[in-house]
Amino acid sequence: MASAHRSDRVAEVVPGLVRILDRSIRALGDQGEEEAACQLAAEAWALLESEWDSEAGRLNGTLHYLTRQGAEGNRGTAPA
Amino acid sequence: MTELSFQSRLTWTGGRQSIGSVEAGGERFQYSVPASMGGLGTGTNPEELLLSAVGSCYTATLAAILEALQLPVAQLQIGVQGTVADYPGPQARISRIVVNPTFLGSDVGREADYESAARKARERCFIGRHLGPQTVYEVGEVDFAEPESESEEVLDVRALPPPRRHQLIFGRLDELVRGAAITLVNDHDPKPLYYQLEATQPGHFSWDYVEGGPETWRVRIARIA
């Protein structure tokens, strides 16, 4: 009974934690720490990708956001 | 037990200084007596055909052994060297046949296993077993090399919906043997994939931009471990 309850809670908690993680990692990237943010997002994605499709997809989106931001930042500072 | 039957068809018109043809497996080859033996030297010759028969059997046997031992290889290249001794004269014979296998895209660190497989293939080679005692048949130098770059695959995912791209790319990368590479073509920077590979298989792939946008990105990804 207790384990069934815990399983239900995991199904609720994991998506919520991933949303928080997503926001945290994006914030880290926005502070100029794109490399660390990308590594964290990819590590979290690797933990989720086999069983948590939707959450892994969210972190894949995070990675795309971060790498796009990084590229735009680099273009902005590149010499003309 | 059953009997199997094989055929080839040969034609020859004229004397020793002539050209014949071999038809086998739907292919047709010209052949003649080799120039070194006083013939025309046109096309192949019986000596090379014997080496090819031994070499082709050896290669297929080796491939089967590698498969059974789960030793990956992108391609096998086999050189076969034959020696005719005591020519000319009644004692002339093919005295030696040496096969020299090269493994392209093999699993580095298991060289001893590949060399053992190379020697086992010589023992099991069906055609080689029909050589008489006057012919030494042996494995020479065993080499290892990177796969040839011209055989590298270009994986263009631009026309695919994004969810399918991911599955396809990871599937192909999983199949790459050590040393093999693909060039990924995408309509945005595939950098997320770089981080995902590092997270799941750190240090297993190299990542080199061939083209860096703004419309098209090409990245050469090679398995290095």
Q: What percent of chain A has pLDDT over 90?
A: 65
Query: Is residue A79 in some structural domain?
Result: no
The CA distance from B51 to B145, in Å, is 23
Query: Is residue A80 in some structural domain?
Result: no
Q: Is A9 on the interface with B (CB under 8 A)?
A: no
Residue A6, both tokens: 């815990």
- What residues 26-45 of chain A have any CB closer than 8 A to a CB of chain B? 38-39, 41-43, 45
* A31 or B166: which leads in pLDDT: A31
Residue tagged 């490399």 (tokens) = A35
Q: Which CATH number is B149-223's, of 3.10.450.50, 3.40.50.10490, 3.30.110.40, 3.40.1710.10?
A: 3.30.110.40
pTM for the structure as a whole: 0.52
CA distances, A6 to each of A44, A51, A52, B102 (Å):
21, 17, 17, 56
- pLDDT given at position A80: 26
Q: What is the Cα B203 distance to its own chain's centre?
A: 28
Q: Is A46 on the interface with B (CB under 8 A)?
A: yes
Cβ atoms < 10 Å from Cβ of B6: 6
Q: Which chain B positions have a beta carbon within 8 Å of A73's beta carbon? A: none
| 3 state DSSP class of B42 | coil
Q: Which chain A positions have a beta carbon within 8 Å of B204's beta carbon? A: none
- pLDDT given at position B166: 86
Q: Which chain B positions have a beta carbon within 8 Å of A46's beta carbon? A: 196, 199-200
B196 with A64: Cβ contact below 8 A: no
Mean pLDDT of B136-143: 94
The residues pairing with B82 across neighbouring beta strands, listed in sequence order, are B97
Interface test with A, best of B165, B167, B194, B196 (most A CBs within 10 A): B196
Question: Residue B147 gets which letter from DSSP?
Answer: P
Report, at the CATH architecture level, how domain B45-145 is classified.
Answer: 2-Layer Sandwich (3.30)
A45 with B166: Cβ contact below 8 A: no
Q: Is A65 on the interface with B (CB under 8 A)?
A: no
- pLDDT given at position A3: 66
Residue B112, both tokens: 């001893």
Q: What is the pLDDT confidence band of residue B35, given thresholds at 50, 70 and 90?
A: confident
Q: What percent of chain B has pLDDT over 70?
A: 98
Question: Could you tell me which of B177, B176, B172, B175 has the C-alpha nearest to residue B160?
Answer: B172
- Nearest CA distance, A11 vs chain B (angstrom): 23
ipTM of the modeled complex: 0.86
- Nearest CA distance, A46 vs chain B (angstrom): 6
Q: What is the pLDDT confidence band of residue B8, given thresholds at 50, 70 and 90?
A: very high
Count structural domains, chain A. 1
E strand residue ranges, B135-176: 136-139, 143-145, 153-156
Question: Could you tell me which of B77, B73, B66 has the C-alpha nearest to residue B142?
Answer: B77
The CA distance from A37 to A73, in Å, is 15
Q: What is the pLDDT confidence band of residue B97, given thresholds at 50, 70 and 90?
A: very high
Question: Residue B44 gets which letter from DSSP?
Answer: B
Domain boundaries, position A39: 2-73
Q: Which chain A positions have a beta carbon within 8 Å of B189's beta carbon? A: 67-68, 71
Q: At what angle do helices A53-77 and A2-30 cross, to 10 degrees?
A: 10
Q: What angle do CA B90, B95, B98 make, to 5 degrees?
A: 160
φ, ψ of residue A57 to 5 degrees: the values are: -60, -40
A43 with B199: Cβ contact below 8 A: yes
